[in-house]
Amino acid sequence: MPDGSATAHLYRPKLATTLAEGYGLAAFRQDAMAGLTVAILALPLSMAIAVASGVSPARGLYTAIVGGFLVSAVGGSRYQVGGPAGAFIVLVAATVARHGVNGLLLTVLVSGLLLTLAGALRLGSLIRHIPHAVTVGFTAGIAVTIAASQIKDLAGLTLGAEPGPVVPKLIALGQALPTASPAALGLGLGVAATIFAVKRLRPAWPGMLIAVAAGAAAAWALHLPVATIGSQFGGIPHALPAPRPPVFNLTLLVQILPAALSFTLLGAVESLLSATVADRMTGRRHRSNMELVAQGVANVASAFFGGIAVTGTVARTATNIRAGARSPVAGMLHAVLLLVFMLVAAPLASYVPLAALAGLLIVVSWNMVEKAEFARLLRDRRAGAVLLATFLLTLARDLTTGILAGCALAALFWAVSRLQRRWANP
């Protein structure tokens, strides 16, 4: 039965609702299996997203463990699973390049505070009204940008300073093609092909983990000359770091504020879209303002533990539901299981080739694009204009510009249509 979001329960976590309804051993077993399934998906994905974002893979795991636990424990959705998201790769990479890792951590912290404030001000319902064409457009733009960012590692290219914008990046990558490594390219494409094949032939199997593990085994057994997590980052720590706040000063705060606003906007949109998808799959209703507060708390905690941006993710949330999750306990257990991996099996991550992670993210980029919906919206003149404006400006400028331009254009079309109806029916 849908549990709604009555005014009295606007800021009650769904975990509290679940426990109040009664929670037994049978539900825990289902949550444990769902949590294990999601952890298997999140393990390689969290590391891949971190590497693509310009930070160490360990920071992706910190994000999934700390942020993922809190998103489920405090959130307004029964099934939401949080962690690092592919949509943030471009923003995180740009922030690291401009302000360094400490600047990134401060950005995540400020974004968390702003998300909490947005939830406290009950802005969740407003964010959910962003036009559909805008969400499809910026998601496609992010996917293209992510795919372009993975070409270097996928092909093992030797490249100096890699440009940030897509077009200059592609030009630089094209000029570096003579340095391509056949071993890296074959390995990366093999991982991508394996993920697609497993999804088609055995959809219940953890295709991403199987493909990345097979790629690491092949690189080790064949002594392939490819960069790995170990050679690039020195491996994965065996435990979480001690919490500490980012170094703070007023000058840095002013510098990172635009990035923090972009993080906040994207985090709010992504998390509420993911929660809405979960609602459609289960017939439940999430509490949007509680969800924003939870995302804020999770981002603040992630920054203290050295993690990157946290948000609810559609892929992990949908996997959680399909695996039979009954409550937020499943998402909490997924985080605990990732921590167990860090404690007992972290050295294995050193053997994972960067080309394998790039192949995984190429698949993620392909899956991010709502191809049928993109084509359908293009057939509508106004929706198509909003879609293309958002998509092209996301590629040419940045995510925030794309979203604002798309929303402004959609609002203009809405106002014109209202006027036309009034003139037609005076």
Distance CA 208, CA 43 (A): 9
pLDDT for the residue 1:
39
Q: Which residues pair with 312 in a beta bridge?
A: 82
Supply the DSSP symbol for 67: I
pLDDT for the residue 426:
64
Identity of the amino acid at 267 = G
On whether residue 275 sits in a domain, the answer given is yes
Tokens of 206: 């953890």
- Provide the whole-model pTM: 0.84
Specify burial of residue 186 (Cβ count, 10 A radius: 0-12, 13-18, 19+).
middle
Instruction: Report how far apart the first and last C-alpha atoms of the chain are (Å, whole number).
Output: 45
C-alpha separations of 118 from 15, 63, 128 in Å: 21, 21, 13
* CA 74 to chain centroid: 19
Listed residue (277, 271, 316, 232) closest to 41, CA to CA = 316
On whether residue 306 sits in a domain, the answer given is yes
pLDDT for the residue 9:
67
Say if residues 267 and 294 touch (Cβ distance below 8 Å). Answer: no
Tokens of 264: 């906040």
Distance CA 284, CA 320 (A): 15
Say if residues 26 and 63 touch (Cβ distance below 8 Å). Answer: no
On whether residue 399 sits in a domain, the answer given is no
Q: Is 228 in a helix, a strand, or coil?
A: strand
User: Residue 357: how many CA atoms within 13 Å on its side-chain side?
Assistant: 30
pLDDT for the residue 126:
78
Distance CA 214, CA 320 (A): 24
User: Residue 324: how many CA atoms within 13 Å on its side-chain side?
Assistant: 12
Q: Which residues pair with 228 in a beta bridge?
A: 353
On whether residue 376 sits in a domain, the answer given is yes
Tally of structural domains, the chain? 1
Backbone φ and ψ of 35, nearest 5°: -60, -40
Distance CA 152, CA 90 (A): 15
Tokens of 145: 């940008």
Distance CA 237, CA 344 (A): 10
On whether residue 11 sits in a domain, the answer given is no
Specify burial of residue 425 (Cβ count, 10 A radius: 0-12, 13-18, 19+).
exposed
Along the 426 residues of the chain, how does pLDDT read in single tens digits?
344 444 446 788 999 999 998 989 999 999 999 999 899 889 998 998 999 888 999 999 999 999 999 999 999 999 999 999 888 888 899 999 999 999 999 999 999 999 999 999 998 877 767 888 988 898 888 888 888 888 989 999 887 767 767 888 888 889 989 999 999 999 999 999 999 999 999 988 888 889 999 999 999 999 999 999 888 888 788 889 999 999 989 999 999 999 999 999 889 988 988 888 888 888 888 899 999 999 999 999 999 999 999 999 888 898 899 888 999 999 999 999 999 999 988 888 889 999 999 999 899 889 888 899 999 999 999 999 999 999 999 888 877 788 889 999 999 998 888 887 778 776
Tokens of 190: 């093999």
Q: What stretch of H or E contains 312?
A: strand 311-312
Backbone φ and ψ of 101, nearest 5°: -65, -40
On whether residue 287 sits in a domain, the answer given is yes
On whether residue 37 sits in a domain, the answer given is yes
pLDDT for the residue 139:
83
On whether residue 426 sits in a domain, the answer given is no
Which residue range(s) make up the domain with 315?
Answer: 18-383
Distance CA 425, CA 362 (A): 51
User: Residue 424: how many CA atoms within 13 Å on its side-chain side?
Assistant: 6
